[in-house]
Amino acid sequence: MSPGPLHSEPDIERLDRFDGIFVRHDMVDYTERRILDLMYQTQATTARNDEKRRALGHWANKQDELWLLPIVGPSGSTKSKTIQWTTDRIYESRKDENSLPLLVVTLRSAIRSTRALQASILEAFHDPSAGSVLHMKDYSEAAVNAAIMNIARKRGTSLVVFDEAHNVLSDARSDVMARAMKSLINDGVFSIALAGTDDLLPLLHHQELAQRAKEPIWFKPATTDQIETCSAFFAFVEELCDQMLKEGAIALPFRPTSSKNQCALLFDMCEGSIGRAVRVIRRGLERSVSEGHPSLSWDTVIAAHTSWQTIRGGHKQRFAANSATRETMAMLNKLQKAS
């Protein structure tokens, strides 16, 4: 007998339905407010700057500077998902479909110079000059910034988010990137949001850039010594599982928070990170789909996570398949008493 297909189309669709789920947790609304506030401030400042240039011409050589917003958290803390959700909301509410009020630029480790950073911005705008910037013989940083500003004004762009910013901020390049970003802010091109892990923090050690920095948005995992963050973690997981059932990713309810032991193990598996909870549960769902099961079981999640752990080699883990840490169990006892 010949083997059948690995997955039927309806099974694959279950994974797609899961991937389409977005849980609107507290940090989502907070981040959206902070981003919108910065955009409105930037629009007011750039309007003043543009009016000054119109009135004074080339004498208007000093622009009111714009701002830098750090968005910092470990991998898997839902920073990028939150930024994408906010971006989608902003785009849905725009009156002109050609406008780009917020532009997201994903930074790659290959960006090693000011002109490479400028080229990545132009590429995100789908501007044909992006490639030529890297090979200009008569290159001028100020001239390219002016060209970027012209595009930004035409597209109504007040904020650029550099996502995965830690990729370009090794110690050797922090000086170069700090100067390049400071130049964009000084020239009044647009404000910048820097999203990434705490590896991007050396950038803020540069005094001039730090002076333009807003209070950071911190995406922190739940910790056992902060009960309210743990409560939010479990509430997120329960909402995620409810939506899995509602969207048809599973046929029967899945409740990993139904027992204290499962709660503790899940918390340790995810190290308190809601983004990691999404990944852990998705790996379980993918294994369940591959085995032909219409729903998801706790044993399947454990098996998938244990298998994935082997890939990580010598990485130290707090998780053990049959026992949770003492700190996590103590946290759950406090959480149980508080409820």
Q: Mind listing the pLDDT tens digit of every residue in the chain (339 residues)?
A: 444 455 556 678 999 999 999 999 999 999 999 999 999 999 999 998 888 878 876 555 667 889 999 999 998 889 999 999 999 999 999 888 889 999 999 988 888 889 999 999 999 999 999 989 999 989 999 999 999 999 999 999 999 999 988 887 655 567 888 889 999 998 899 999 999 998 888 888 887 788 899 999 999 999 999 999 999 999 999 999 999 999 999 999 999 999 999 999 999 999 999 999 999 999 999 999 999 899 999 999 999 998 888 766 544 454 554 567 889 999 999 988 887
pTM of the predicted model, to two decimals?
0.87
| Three-state SS letters, the chain | CCCCCCCCHHHHHHHHHHHCCCCCCHHHHHHHHHHHHHHHHHHHHHHHHHHHHHHHHHHCCCCCCCCEEEEECCCCCCHHHHHHHHHHHHHHHCCCCCCCCEEEEECCCCCCCHHHHHHHHHHHCCCCCHHHHCCCCCCCHHHHHHHHHHHHHHHCCCEEEEECHHHHCCCCCHHHHHHHHHHHHHCCCCEEEEEECHHHHHHHHCHHHHHCECCCEECCCCCCCCHHHHHHHHHHHHHHHHHHHHHCCCCCCCCCCCCHHHHHHHHHHHCCCHHHHHHHHHHHHHHHHHCCCCCCCHHHHHHHHHHHHHHHCCCCCCCECCECCHHHHHHHHHHHHHC
pLDDT given at position 59: 53
CATH of 26-218, one of 3.40.50.970, 3.40.50.1860, 3.40.50.300, 2.10.10.90: 3.40.50.300
Residue boundaries of the structural domains of the chain = 26-218, 222-338
pLDDT given at position 314: 44
